[in-house]
Chain A
Amino acid sequence: METQTINKQQQTTKTTERISGSEAIVRCLIEEKIKVIYGYPGGAIMPLYDELYKYQDKIHHVLTRHEQGATHAAQGFARISGEVGVAIATSGPGATNLITGIADAQIDSTPMVCITGQVFSHLLGSDAFQETDIVGISTPVTKWNCQVTRAEDIPAVLAKAFYIAKSGRPGPVLIDITKDAQLDTFDFSYEKCTKIRSYNPVPKTEDSSLEAAAKLINEAKRPFIIWGQGVILSEAEEQFKAFIEKAGIPAAWTILGASAIPTSHPLNVGMLGMHGNYAPNVLTNECDVLIAIGMRFDDRVTGDLSKYAKQAKVIHFEIDPAEIDKNVKSDVAVLGDAKASLEGILPLINQNSHKEWHQKFKDLYKIEYEKVIKNDIHPTKEGLTMGEVVKEINIQTKGEAAIVTDVGQHQMIACRYADFNKSKSNITSGGLGTMGFGLPAAIGAKMAAPEREVISISGDGGYQMTIQELGTIFQQKAAVKVVVLNNEFLGMVRQWQQLFFDKRYASTEMTNPDFVAIAKGYYLNARKVVKREDLKEAVAEMIASKEAYFLEVCVEKEDNVFPMVPSGASVSDIRLE
């Protein structure tokens, strides 16, 4: 009887434990099974850091060298794991430094929760030291955001934050917590959020839409599938593969859809869009049924919309109703989660092979190979190409590596030529095109998947935007392999200047530092390659390294990325040279 009373008392204590708001934040993170977070301390977030110090055996806080790095690391973490990434910053400049990463996560649908400190609630609106209206600033680039001024609101708001970030079409959430809310104590208890009245993350898939889609697919003579990150986000890789194999339909990917099925899959016909492959771009305007799955018809994919797949019936599988008919009018919209929709449509689809149609893709690939690919990956000229570096990495990693890229020419080349055997292996800034994304994102990816080989490939421009994160790599002993393809130019802009601005190279030439010396300054193993004969061995040394490794490859200065759909042109007007 006595024991029972004690047990009861203990239970009551447990459910009504009085703790500070900042401790509550940590406890919420633990409840959400968060083990690694990225951030940077400062005045308004110090109470939280004090608790993180006490809970360091449960949550590993990674000190990045800039708050932007914290967001990209959280993004890299999220993209390779499918889990929510967490970034933390103080008020004012700390918070505003998160914005680029938040905007990137918003446009690329990456689940992320950002927690910012805020000045005391009685100082709000008084232009206090390091006060900034981060809720106002982040509104257009967050899926949801909220300011907390009372400690007791913290658990419910954070529970909502994690639910919103991860459910439906994922995205970034920012929670701004005043310093008094962090310091005040209250009776803590945590309940996971599983429902919000006004929020319907996964719209219902109508059977009639699946039937209408199946009818179009079964009657199609030249069907073509274009897929995006939706396949990866809904973890529908197996269902997707089963679908395309049964229907025998060639399938091409958007940059964020890459790696959902292996590069070597016979129905994988390559990359869409501005620097995508020749066949999928040209044949977009020849197919009779275009089946879009988990993609949003970005302008870099479609080119001129008035000349985009006008001959085709369009089927759009999509989780976000706002994407339906936003850019391309669909004939059949299949709302809902890609995994469930693909499972639902599979039995309705006839077995087919579309051999003649598939042959067209092969024929156009041959043209692209002769005109572009051969010279990119087996160059005969003296200078090294970005393509041959990527090819060498493919060979030595057997396509098992996760490739994290920055933005620009190297990104297009890496996406075009990297071999992906596993899903979630292509981590890059797609929609926002954030230079500086690659290096910190690779840190997050490596920490989320330490068993995987994570290779960061950057250009010399973007690399220098977040180069300070080498310090994070060193401090965390994150075994990231860092490759910089150095052409001493902001290459993509230079390419446009060459093609469309009469070779006026305004502010695109870079006078670069000694990158190897900088890496060595951070105590990383580092090497520079300038000659083709050294490439293979240098890549081997990098792959063999158990620790972080920096490899600079000096490539041809004025190479261009082809094929190219010029801005404003139709996808079928893609240029091979």
Chain B
Amino acid sequence: MSTDKQLYTISVYTENNIGLLNRISAIFQRRHINIESLNTSPSEIEGVSKFTIVVNMDEVNIKKIIGQIEKQVEVIKAYYHNLDEIIYQIAGLFKIKSELLFEERQIQNIIKESNARIVTVNKEFFVLEKSGKKEEIIALYNQLSPYGIMQYTRSGLIAVSKDEMKISTLLKTYNN
């Protein structure tokens, strides 16, 4: 098992309960592990939530973390994957002065080439949205930065695994 650190996503299927986020994040905090990103959302199963957590760790320790997460009463199942084993997306939002859109011709080219989407435009500003890998969003940021960005934010990583995560089957066996 690899002892080299790399980015892993941890997918945690849980009951939707107040306080569970605290319980899960405490597992990382206690071991001095920095969470790179964290996203919570409903999952494909009704009433089941999904946490997607990104951490930079080695495999030996991530297995231990999975054990600690699954030990929590309200956790149904946790999986870990490296980035090659998942399809993932990150979204970035850029708020930029509207006048630049007309004054700086280059910006229109940047938008076209980066496949970014204009979410809204008004007199004062427009908002660009770009989804993709972290590097793509950073590249766009670097391109836009010289013109002045009013606001910038990046979402947590969301992912689906290439392999099956057999939550429905698992829940069926629990229910029987």
Interface residue ranges, A against B (CB under 8 Å) = 135-136, 139-140, 143-147, 164, 196-200, 320-326
CB within 8 A of A164: which of B18, B26, B63, B73? B73
Contact of B75 with A135 in the complex, beta carbons under 8 Å? no
Supposing A145-B19, A197-B15 touch, asked if A325 and B73 sit within 8 A by C-beta, the answer is: no
What are 23 inter-chain pairs, A to B, with CB distance below 8 A?
A135-B19, A136-B19, A136-B22, A139-B19, A139-B26, A144-B73, A146-B19, A147-B18, A196-B73, A198-B14, A198-B73, A198-B74, A198-B75, A198-B76, A198-B174, A199-B74, A320-B71, A322-B64, A322-B67, A322-B68, A322-B70, A323-B67, A326-B67
Known: A198-B76, A322-B70. 7 other contacts (CB 8 A): A144-B74, A147-B19, A164-B73, A197-B15, A197-B174, A198-B15, A200-B174
CB within 8 A of A324: which of B14, B15, B67, B175? B67
Contact of A321 with B19 in the complex, beta carbons under 8 Å? no
Q: Which residues of B contact A325 (CB under 8 A)?
A: 63-64
Chain A, residue nearest B77 (CB): A198
Report the bound CA distance from A146 to B19 in whole Å: 8
Chain A, residue nearest B174 (CB): A197
Q: Which residues of B contact A324 (CB under 8 A)?
A: 67
In chain B, positions 3-46 with a C-beta closer than 8 Å to chain A are 14-15, 18-19, 22-23, 26, 30
Contact of B175 with A197 in the complex, beta carbons under 8 Å? yes
B171, CB-defined interface residue at 8 Å: yes
Q: Which residues of A contact B67 (CB under 8 A)?
A: 321-324, 326
Dominant secondary structure at the A interface: mixed
Report the bound CA distance from A433 to B67 in whole Å: 25
Report the bound CA distance from A326 to B65 in whole Å: 10
A181 to B: closest C-beta gap in Å:
15
Q: Which residues of A contact B18 (CB under 8 A)?
A: 147
Q: Shortest 3 CB-CB distances between A and B: which pairs?
A: A322-B67, A198-B76, A144-B73
Report the bound CA distance from A410 to B19 in whole Å: 40
Q: Which residues of A contact B19 (CB under 8 A)?
A: 135-136, 139, 145-147
Q: Which residues of B contact A135 (CB under 8 A)?
A: 19
In chain B, positions 50-77 with a C-beta closer than 8 Å to chain A are 63-64, 67-68, 70-71, 73-76
Task: Count how many chain B residues have C-beta atoms less than 8 Å from C-beta atoms of the other chain.
Answer: 21
Chain B, residue nearest A142 (CB): B23
Q: Contact mask B151-169 → A, CB, 8 Å, 1/0? A: 0000000000000000000
Report the bound CA distance from A136 to B26 in whole Å: 10
Supposing A321-B67, A324-B67 touch, asked if A199 and B73 sit within 8 A by C-beta, the answer is: yes
Report the bound CA distance from A323 to B23 in whole Å: 18
Q: Which residues of B contact A143 (CB under 8 A)?
A: 73
Report the bound CA distance from A23 to B64 in whole Å: 43
Report the bound CA distance from A135 to B20 in whole Å: 11
Chain B, residue nearest A201 (CB): B73
Report the bound CA distance from A325 to B175 in whole Å: 29
Report the bound CA distance from A452 to B23 in whole Å: 40
A331 to B: closest C-beta gap in Å:
15
B45 to A: closest C-beta gap in Å:
11
Report the bound CA distance from A146 to B15 in whole Å: 14
Chain B, residue nearest A196 (CB): B73
Q: Which residues of B contact A164 (CB under 8 A)?
A: 73
Contact of A326 with B64 in the complex, beta carbons under 8 Å? yes
Contact of B76 with A197 in the complex, beta carbons under 8 Å? yes
Query: Which of B14, B64, B71, B76 has most A Cβ within 10 Å?
Result: B71
B68 to A: closest C-beta gap in Å:
5
In chain B, positions 113-166 with a C-beta closer than 8 Å to chain A are none
B64 to A: closest C-beta gap in Å:
6
Q: Which residues of A contact B175 (CB under 8 A)?
A: 197
Chain A, residue nearest B74 (CB): A198
Q: Contact mask B81-117 → A, CB, 8 Å, 1/0? A: 0000000000000000000000000000000000000
Contact of A322 with B71 in the complex, beta carbons under 8 Å? yes
Q: Which residues of A contact B171 (CB under 8 A)?
A: 197
Report the bound CA distance from A135 to B19 in whole Å: 8
Query: Which of A140, A144, A322, A324 has most B Cβ within 10 Å?
Result: A322
Chain A, residue nearest B24 (CB): A139
Chain B, residue nearest A160 (CB): B73
Report the bound CA distance from A379 to B67 in whole Å: 49
A545 to B: closest C-beta gap in Å:
45
B143 to A: closest C-beta gap in Å:
43
B62 to A: closest C-beta gap in Å:
12
A315 to B: closest C-beta gap in Å:
18
Chain A, residue nearest B67 (CB): A322
B135 to A: closest C-beta gap in Å:
34
Report the bound CA distance from A325 to B62 in whole Å: 12
Report the bound CA distance from A196 to B23 in whole Å: 18
Supposing A197-B15, A198-B15 touch, asked if A321 and B64 sit within 8 A by C-beta, the answer is: no
Contact of A139 with B174 in the complex, beta carbons under 8 Å? no
Report the bound CA distance from A324 to B64 in whole Å: 9
Contact of A321 with B174 in the complex, beta carbons under 8 Å? no
Contact of A321 with B76 in the complex, beta carbons under 8 Å? no
Query: Which of A136, A143, A147, A200 has most B Cβ within 10 Å?
Result: A200
B113 to A: closest C-beta gap in Å:
46
B54 to A: closest C-beta gap in Å:
21
Report the bound CA distance from A144 to B23 in whole Å: 9
Chain B, residue nearest A200 (CB): B174
Q: Which residues of A contact B30 (CB under 8 A)?
A: 140
Q: Which residues of B contact A147 (CB under 8 A)?
A: 18-19
CB within 8 A of A139: which of B15, B23, B76? B23
Contact of A139 with B22 in the complex, beta carbons under 8 Å? yes
Q: Which residues of B contact A323 (CB under 8 A)?
A: 67
Chain A, residue nearest B14 (CB): A198
Chain A, residue nearest B27 (CB): A140
Query: Which of B14, B22, B68, B175 has most A Cβ within 10 Å?
Result: B22
B21 to A: closest C-beta gap in Å:
10
Q: Which residues of B contact A199 (CB under 8 A)?
A: 73-74
Q: Which residues of A contact B64 (CB under 8 A)?
A: 322, 325-326
Report the bound CA distance from A200 to B19 in whole Å: 20
Chain B, residue nearest A198 (CB): B76
B138 to A: closest C-beta gap in Å:
35
Chain B, residue nearest A140 (CB): B26
Q: Which residues of A contact B73 (CB under 8 A)?
A: 143-144, 164, 196, 198-199
Report the bound CA distance from A321 to B68 in whole Å: 9
B129 to A: closest C-beta gap in Å:
34
B66 to A: closest C-beta gap in Å:
9
Chain A, residue nearest B75 (CB): A198
